[in-house]
């Protein structure tokens, strides 16, 4: 099995948001797919380590804001590389609310979709949420950002290290693990990706 083939799949990028009581939160996901047109339904897969995951499981509602090629790396850092358990991710962020009361992001996004969850399937590291499309809008005509576009144009290129250190770097977010051996079950503390997404420094 050549695990690299998984990277040849193409994905979009999205800010997935939820609201539980007065608490707003969001995370970055790359797994939003329309799965039926009649009725209009989408699926999203959300990593169980994300606080947003628990909020959707509880409230059965979410929004996805579709990141465009105008998105800044800071948006990925803000929603992807810190946890809503520790910070208020909406502080200092421009946002609007849809009819379901949940935040959506306009800055660097070209539209949003609201989902009402009708089934949640435990698929391992992630939960697959199946949802009816309840609402949505288009903000502008900027092309949607693909995962490949993010790596080629949005994520800053790694700076050459001044001194050679022993360790592993997360190819998704740039987190550095120092040490000879990366534990096989290691999970990136920033972006929650597994050890297979790390490469030696």
Which residues of the chain form contacts with Fe ion (CB under 5 A)?
Answer: 170, 172-173, 175, 188, 190-191, 193
Nearer to Fe ion, 47 or 98 (CB): 47
Report in angstroms how near the CB of residue 173 gets to Fe ion at its nearest. Answer: 3
User: What phi and psi, each to the nearest 5 degrees, are found at residue 144?
Assistant: -65, 145
Report in angstroms how near the CB of residue 193 gets to Fe ion at its nearest. Answer: 5
Nearer to Fe ion, 19 or 193 (CB): 193
**Residue 175 has which token pair?**
């987190």
Measure CA of the first residue to CA of the last residue in the chain; give whole Å.
24
Are 65 and 18 in contact, with CB atoms under 8 Å apart? no
Binning the chain into helix, strand and coil, the percentages to the nearest 5 are 15, 40, 45
Report in angstroms how near the CB of residue 188 gets to Fe ion at its nearest. Answer: 3
Distance CA 13, CA 42 (A): 15
Report in angstroms how near the CB of residue 192 gets to Fe ion at its nearest. Answer: 7
Nearer to Fe ion, 56 or 191 (CB): 191
Nearer to Fe ion, 127 or 171 (CB): 171
């Amino acid at each position: 099995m050549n695990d690299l083939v998984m990277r040849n799949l193409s994905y979009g990028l999205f800010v997935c948001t939820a609201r539980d009581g007065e608490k707003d939160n969001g995370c970055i996901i790359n797994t939003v797919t329309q799965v039926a047109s009649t009725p209009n339904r989408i699926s999203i897969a959300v990593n169980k380590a994300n606080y947003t995951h628990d909020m959707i499981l509880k409230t059965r509602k979410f929004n996805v804001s579709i990141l465009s090629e105008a998105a800044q790396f800071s948006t990925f850092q803000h929603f992807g590389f810190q946890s809503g358990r520790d910070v208020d991710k909406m502080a200092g962020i421009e946002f609007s609310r849809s009819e379901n009361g949940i935040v959506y992001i306009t800055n660097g996004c070209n539209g949003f979709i609201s989902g009402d969850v009708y089934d949640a399937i435990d698929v391992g590291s992630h939960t697959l949420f199946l949802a009816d499309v309840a609402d949505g809008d288009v903000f502008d005509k900027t092309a949607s950002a693909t995962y490949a576009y993010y790596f080629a144009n949005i994520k800053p290129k790694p700076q050459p290290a001044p001194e050679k250190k022993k360790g592993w770097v997360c190819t998704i977010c740039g987190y550095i693990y120092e040490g000879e051996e990366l534990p096989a079950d290691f999970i990136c503390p920033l972006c929650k990706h597994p050890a297979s997404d790390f490469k030696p420094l």
